[in-house]
Structure 1
Amino acid sequence: MEALLEKFDVGLFILAVFATVGIYRILELILARMLWKAKKEQSLGKTCLLILVKDLEDRVEGIVRILAGRGVFEMADMVHFVDLGSQDCTFDILKRLSQKFGFDVEEGLKEDLPEADLVLAVNLQNIGAEEIAAYFERLCGVKKVEMGLRSHKN
């Protein structure tokens, strides 16, 4: 027994424990990523956010930055800003921001809506950017919906 204790290296034991935990965490991350991709494919399908704006020159940049900060542009398959005939520089500001954030800007509402399984159309005259982000998160956030279902007691 003493011979075994003399050969026992505490540092090597600690290294083995951390290596085991590290390998476990890496495998857990890979599995979670694969499950997330599978669940995303089963979610709502193709989603589109249609945001209607008019004469919001003083607020539109802040609104776009709030939506970008909340990850709305990543959650949606398509984001369209539609300028409903602004008399100020709203359309120009949206054009500039669309190059940075990657959304589409249109002047005037066309007859046909974008092709998607879910189109959420909001008018920024009536609702704030935080509310838009929250609604869209609730609709598209598969993980949050799943967590809510798990915590709900029937």
Structure 2
Amino acid sequence: MRHLTWESGALCVSATDGDELHSTYSNLALKLDTKAVSAPGGSSSKGCDDDVWSTVPRGAGSAKCGQADYDAFAGTSMAAPQVAGVATLLGGQGRDADGIEKALISGGTSLVGLRGVFKPVYGFGVVDAAAAVEQPL
């Protein structure tokens, strides 16, 4: 297994809440040379439906949010798989690792509607699957 470094394609992921605002628990992309994007990760403070619903082992759902097989969670651990899912869609289009990274960064949005522009709170924006797969190959 090859170890990833910044030069070889690692991408930082910050989390946003249901309103696409930066989640208070999440890291920030403070340096312009950091390759970073954001994705929905939940708020952890607004209630269950503002977090990310996930399957859990049968009977492990919490009393507060969960049912037998589902629960709501918040964290960058919930945001990163969303970015990985979009990356998989991009790979299915035949893109290599550099092309996937470029499409994720170019297709990211912010609250002010700018795409692919670095912002310390969002990195290169909130990943947008539709915009990412529409980026030129």
TM-score band by shorter chain is under 0.3
Q: Normalising by structure 1, report the TM-score.
A: 0.22
Q: Which has the higher helix share?
A: 1
Q: Normalising by structure 2, report the TM-score.
A: 0.24
